[in-house]
Every structure is written in structure tokens, then in C-alpha cells.
């Protein structure tokens, strides 16, 4: 890999970790969906001789939970910084922290999925956010292969867009914020917004298989770059208030930043395909 592509790969992971850090520190992550689940927590509390009623009625518990959530946020922030210091000979702390947060992501995404009635599409819509940290670690391993890296990235991009399409198409109930953002940005009626999302959903379904058709893979990836960035910035554009710009950025900025990888990752596919093509031409010469 050249310096440009490794930087983009690092940037994609950095933005995911940074956005989750911001969310943990300033907003909230639904850990309480597990911590307030009696059937799950009662046996755990029993190991420490704590009654469930004692746990839920202790006003200091929520304060401690919030403190822990912010602590996890600072670990995310440290991991985000470590991303740019990652090298083949990096010390165990840097690699260990990135790997640890990468695995923790699976718990965070599970919590989002629980909030969404365990829609499996909600979980795998985060495929890029889950997979990119491991792809970065793989890129610095001795066994790294560019062709295998592209294959992994195609699957991650394709599954992310496929699961996004499940909501836009209406396989799952279309999220109200999808409709609201479409109406706000395009200035169209609700019926036309639903039709627009339905069409986009079908296109999202096609990205996964079309990425594996070599003749058009680059063009499909370019579309994914454009649509990935547009959907990321839609959060700010649709909800932007000229009277309270900083409040808008505070509330929706991390939602945009965490989705920047949806545009960066397909851009990586474009560049890696170009890199492989260039290498093949040199081999022929």
C-alpha cells in the first residue's frame, strides 16, 4: 500500500473511534439497556450479595454508570489518537488498545441493535465500523495481501449498504429521521420521500453483487463514495440551524463523523483497484 491509501484507512478508523468517543463523553450509549435488565443482572449482582431492588433504588448507581461511560469514551479517544501512531513495529500498548476498542465495538453495536428490536440489519449496517479497525491491523501484519484486503473491503462496504437499503426500501419500518431528512433536504412531499428512499434502497441492494463484477467495480465504488458521503453529511444539512450552528454540530456532528467511513471505504476500493491495475501493467512490461 502507498502512503495515501494507508492514511485513508487510518482516517476511516480514526473518525469512527473519535465519533464514538464524543458520543460516550457528551451524549449517551444505551448501556443501561443491559444494566437495567433484571433477568440478566440479578445473577451477576447475586455474586456480590447485592439485591436487585437495592441496585435499582440506589441513586448513586446511575452516577457511577455515567462515569464509566465517559471513561470508555476517553479510551475511545486514546485509541483514535493511537491509530495515527500505528506502525508494523508499534508497541503492544498501541496495538492492544486499538484491538481492545475494536472488539468493544461489537458490544456497542449490540446495544444499538437491542434498541432497534433486534433487527439483524441494524447490526450489520455497522459492518464497516466494526470491520475497518481489524482491516487496519491486518494491513500492518506480515500476511497482508492487497487483493485479500480489497476482497474484505468489498464485503464490508456491500453489507453496510445492503443493510442500509433494508430500511430505505421498507423491509424494516422506514425510520422517521430518514423521511424527515429527505423531505428537509429535497423539499418534497412525504409520499415522494418514501418513493425516493424505496428507489435508493433497491440501488443499495445492488452494490454488494456489483462490486464483485470486475468490469464495473470501480464505477460502483465511485457511486458508493458519493452516496456514502451524502448520507453522512445529511445529518447536519437536514438539521442545521443558522441560529444555533454550534448546537447543531454538537448534536449531529458525531453522527456525521462516524459515517464518514461509508464514503472513505469505497474510495479506498477505487484507489486499491487502481494500485493493483498499475502493478499488473508493470508486471506485463
Interval 39-60: pLDDT, tens: 888 898 898 898 888 888 888 9
- Name the pLDDT band for 116 (thresholds 50, 70, 90): confident
Interval 201-258: pLDDT, tens: 999 999 999 999 999 999 999 999 999 999 999 999 999 989 899 999 999 999 999 9
Q: Reduce the secondary structure of 254-271 to three states and give it as a string.
A: HHHHCCCHHHHHHHHHHH
Q: What is the pLDDT of residue 17?
A: 98
Gap between the Cα atoms of 268 and 11, Å rounded: 11
Is the pLDDT at 279 greater than 80? The verdict is no
Q: What is the pLDDT of residue 283?
A: 67
Is the pLDDT at 79 greater than 90? The verdict is yes
- Name the pLDDT band for 74 (thresholds 50, 70, 90): very high
Least confident of 37-41, 70-74, 276-280: 276-280
Contacts of 146 (CB under 8 A, 6+ apart): 1, 272, 275, 276
Q: What is the pLDDT of residue 256?
A: 97
pLDDT > 70: percent of the chain: 99
* Domain parsing of the chain, residue ranges: 3-284
Interval 225-241: pLDDT, tens: 999 999 999 999 999 98
List C-alpha distances in Å: 62 to 29, 39, 59, 157. 13, 19, 6, 37
Is the pLDDT at 284 greater than 70? The verdict is no
Interval 66-90 mean pLDDT: 96
Q: Reduce the secondary structure of 26-89 to three states and give it as a string.
A: HCCCCCHHHHCCHHHHHHHHHCCCCCHHHHHHCHHHHHHHHHHHHHHHHHHHHHHHHHCCCCCC
Interval 126-177: pLDDT, tens: 999 999 999 999 999 989 999 999 999 999 999 999 999 999 999 999 999 9
- Going by C-alpha positions, the residue among 172, 219, 223, 222 that lies closest to residue 198 is 172
Residue 9: what are its φ and ψ, rounded to 5°?
-65, -45
b/e map 116-139, b = 16+ CB within 10 Å: beebebbbbbbbbbbbbbbbbbeb
- Going by C-alpha positions, the residue among 42, 31, 34, 38 that lies closest to residue 71 is 31
Task: Specify the pTM.
Answer: 0.95
SS3 188: coil
Amino acid at each position: 500500500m502507498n502512503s495515501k491509501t494507508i492514511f485513508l484507512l487510518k482516517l476511516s478508523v480514526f473518525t469512527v473511534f473519535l465519533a464514538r468517543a464524543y458520543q460516550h463523553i457528551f451524549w449517551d450509549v444505551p448501556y443501561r439497556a443491559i444494566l437495567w435488565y433484571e433477568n440478566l443482572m440479578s445473577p451477576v449482582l447475586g455474586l456480590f450479595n447485592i439485591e436487585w431492588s437495592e441496585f435499582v433504588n440506589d441513586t448513586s448507581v446511575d452516577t457511577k454508570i455515567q462515569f464509566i461511560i465517559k471513561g470508555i469514551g476517553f479510551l475511545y479517544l486514546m485509541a483514535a489518537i493511537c491509530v495515527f501512531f500505528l506502525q508494523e513495529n508499534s508497541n503492544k500498548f498501541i496495538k492492544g488498545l486499538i484491538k481492545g476498542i475494536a472488539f468493544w465495538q461489537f458490544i456497542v453495536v449490540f446495544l444499538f441493535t437491542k434498541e432497534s428490536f433486534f433487527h439483524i440489519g441494524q447490526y450489520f449496517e455497522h459492518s464497516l465500523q466494526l470491520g475497518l479497525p481489524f482491516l487496519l491491523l491486518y494491513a500492518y501484519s506480515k500476511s497482508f495481501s492487497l487483493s485479500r484486503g480489497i476482497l474484505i473491503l468489498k464485503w464490508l462496504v456491500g453489507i453496510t449498504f445492503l443493510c442500509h437499503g433494508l430500511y430505505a426500501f421498507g423491509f424494516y419500518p422506514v425510520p422517521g429521521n430518514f423521511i424527515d431528512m429527505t423531505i428537509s433536504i429535497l423539499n418534497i412531499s412525504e409520499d415522494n420521500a418514501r418513493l425516493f428512499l424505496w428507489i435508493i434502497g433497491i440501488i443499495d441492494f445492488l452494490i454488494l453483487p456489483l462490486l464483485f463484477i470486475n468490469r464495473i467495480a470501480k464505477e460502483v465504488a465511485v457511486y458508493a463514495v458519493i452516496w456514502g458521503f451524502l448520507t453522512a453529511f445529511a445529518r447536519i444539512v437536514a438539521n442545521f440551524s443558522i441560529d444555533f450552528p454550534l448546537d447543531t454540530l454538537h448534536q449531529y456532528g458525531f453522527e456525521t463523523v462516524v459515517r464518514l467511513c461509508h464514503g472513505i471505504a469505497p474510495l479506498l476500493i477505487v484507489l486499491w483497484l487502481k494500485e493493483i491495475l498499475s502493478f499488473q501493467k508493470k508486471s506485463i512490461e
